[in-house]
A and B are shown apart, each in its own frame.
Chain A
Amino acid sequence: MPSSTTDPGNSSPVRATRSRGLHGWRGFAFVVPYLALLILFGILPVLYALKLAFTKESGAWAGLQNFTHTATDYRFKPALVHVLLYTSVWLTLLILFVVTLALLLHGRASRASSTFRFLYYLPGALAGAASVLVWLFMLDPSVSPGSFLVHHVLRADLFVESIAPGKLPFIFAMIAFWTGAGGWVVVMYGALNTIPQELDDAARIDGAGPLTLALRVKLPLIRKWVAYMTILSFATGTQLFVEPQLVNQASLGMVPDTWSSNQLGYQLAFRYADFNSAAAISVDLLAIGLLGAVVIITRTGLFKADD
């Protein structure tokens, strides 16, 4: 008989009644294979990165030397600025348009709505190198179907002008949005579907128009998912690598191979054989990712309802 009330001696929480079978080592056994992977590729690398970041090549303690060394590298600040600018533009696009599109689609659920959703996340199949290749063509005014937009919005008559340094964070953000937004629209739409119909009806009875319904009723209820999306996207945004790497190749070096922080870390590790400095950059990125996550979690109370 599963216990459903608090037993003072029992440390299990009230809400979830745990099946009595999965206690102790029996439960643990299910987790062991995953645990091995978690340690090997989740925990150890973080610890290893920390160790490398605070030691010299010989293994001696280096204090903050690697961090100051990389921070004073002439490529560090530009790379960081690029990455942060890119991430903020991308997150803005994501939050703004994913939520808007999801709300618009949810307003009048229909077959058309599911067709739209399907079309939106088709590009998700092309993440990574493939999407960059497609956009190299889209940004070339001579072959692009959007050459009108390239000429007038990007103000570029030639491909080299499309990838001018000032435009790059926006271009990369657009590419990332193109591949990633659709998936999140689907998630948000699903989240909107969990809103009980009664709430909808009650608001309508109260006289709420579609706009009010969307902004005052639905939006706050999917706040958790928006926060979730922001955290994950922030983490992936700061680790940008493939887009600038490919554009570096395609632009004959006009876009440097240290445009993003991750690229700089890679070059430090493999070109200068300096894994310690590269680890310092990795730790910087990890810290930024965690900081962003903590900020978002505390500001939105993301895990309040959770365990």
Chain B
Amino acid sequence: MALLLRGLRLAVLVAFAIFFVAPMVWLVLAPTKSDRDLVSRGPFTFGSFHNVALAWQHLNAFSDHIFLTWIGNSLVYAVSATAIVLVTAIPAGYALALGSFPGRRLVLTTTLVVMIMPAAALVLPIFLELNALHLIGSVFSVILPFSFFPFGVNLAYIYYSTAIPRELLDAARVDGCGEWATFWHIALPLAKPVVALVLFFSFVSDWNNFFLPYTVLGDSKQYPIQVGLSTLLSSTPAFNPATGGGGQQVGIFRPELAIATLLAVVPVAIVFMLSQRALVRGLVGGGVKE
């Protein structure tokens, strides 16, 4: 009986693993095949590196090398916004957890409530706000909204209120450290796990965000890669034929879409891999057994 259960358990785990991983394996192999190969040959067959080079050439040639611009934009937005998030959220979480000042509860509750609200429902008012501030058209129309990350504050708050021994901080104060020095030299280094976590979540969330940039950006050269992918999709004859004929000159077919998707994922996959341990360990605060 126990063996049966064990077998069942393994079967379920493996089935899900296949479900999660198979599409990604397909994605990695797709650019090695030509558009015809994708249909005629098996989904997990390897084509050739030559096809990959061709697919990249077509992709890069699209609209004057705009693909690289899109990747660059995503990086600029995600990195800048995450930097601002770290600078604002970590100290805020620290003070909310360990300080006492009027309005502390209010800020905490508001943060929680806003976190639960569907962010996309706020994009339209944010657009109007940004417009009133004449920020539409500048990169800040994307970076500033991205910099608001209540989830990061929440994480920092939970971490600081459960994992940092106050005696350590008081010891620093007794030694003569001011509040900022206490934070900088004691509290912050101790918070490496949560800094890693906030960095990770903020970066990934910014990288994958579609609706806000889609709404506020009018110039396709400023698009982040997610919105760029949708433009690419709309230029793929298979998915959006040009009424009036033609469209093949643009040269974006399914292998090109596949390689575009793959490349769009690489930076965040890198951050993923490198943050893995921090995620598992630091996520639930405090000591976690492996």
Contacts and interface: CB of A to CB of B under 8 A. Distances in A.
B161 interface: yes
B280 A239 contact: no
Contact residues on B (Cβ < 8 Å of other chain), bracket: 35 or more
Nearest to A118: B276
B250 to A, nearest CB: 15
B223 to A, nearest CB: 11
A34 interface: yes
Contacts of A114: 280, 290
Contacts of B27: 134, 137
B209 A19 contact: no
Contact of B111 (A22, A38, A210): A38
B23 A190 contact: no
Contacts of B5: 210-211
A106 to B, nearest CB: 11
Contacts of B265: 125-126, 130
Nearest to A37: B148
B221 interface: no
A146 B26 CA distance: 10
Which of A117, A122, A143, A286: most chain B Cβ within 10 A?
A143
Given A45-B129, A241-B120, A23 B99 contact: yes
A245 B230 CA distance: 9
A212 interface: no
B116 to A, nearest CB: 4
A127 B229 CA distance: 12
**How would you classify the secondary structure of chain A's contact residues: helix, strand, loop or mixed?**
helix
B12 A194 contact: no
A214 to B, nearest CB: 11
Contacts of B47: none
A243 to B, nearest CB: 9
A86 B7 CA distance: 33
B280 A119 contact: no
B269 A125 contact: yes
Interface string B1-20: 00001000100110011011
Nearest to A179: B208
B59 interface: no
A241 B211 contact: yes
Interface in A41-67: 41-46, 48-49, 52
A293 B114 CA distance: 11
B74 to A, nearest CB: 11
Contacts of A286: 117-118, 121-122
24 contacts: A21-B173, A22-B100, A23-B101, A27-B101, A29-B179, A42-B148, A52-B128, A127-B208, A129-B229, A129-B264, A130-B226, A134-B23, A134-B24, A138-B26, A145-B22, A145-B25, A181-B20, A239-B121, A242-B226, A245-B214, A246-B230, A250-B239, A278-B124, A279-B125
Interface of A: 2, 12, 16-31, 33-35, 37-38, 40-46, 48-49, 52, 97, 100-101, 104-105, 107-109, 114, 116-130, 133-138, 142-147, 178, 181-182, 186-187, 189-191, 193-194, 197, 210-211, 231-232, 235-236, 238-239, 241-242, 245-246, 249-250, 252, 262, 265-266, 269-270, 275, 278-279, 281-283, 285-286, 289-290, 293, 307
Given A41-B122, A125-B204, A137-B254, 10 more contacts: A20-B170, A25-B101, A43-B110, A134-B26, A145-B23, A231-B116, A239-B119, A249-B239, A282-B122, A286-B122
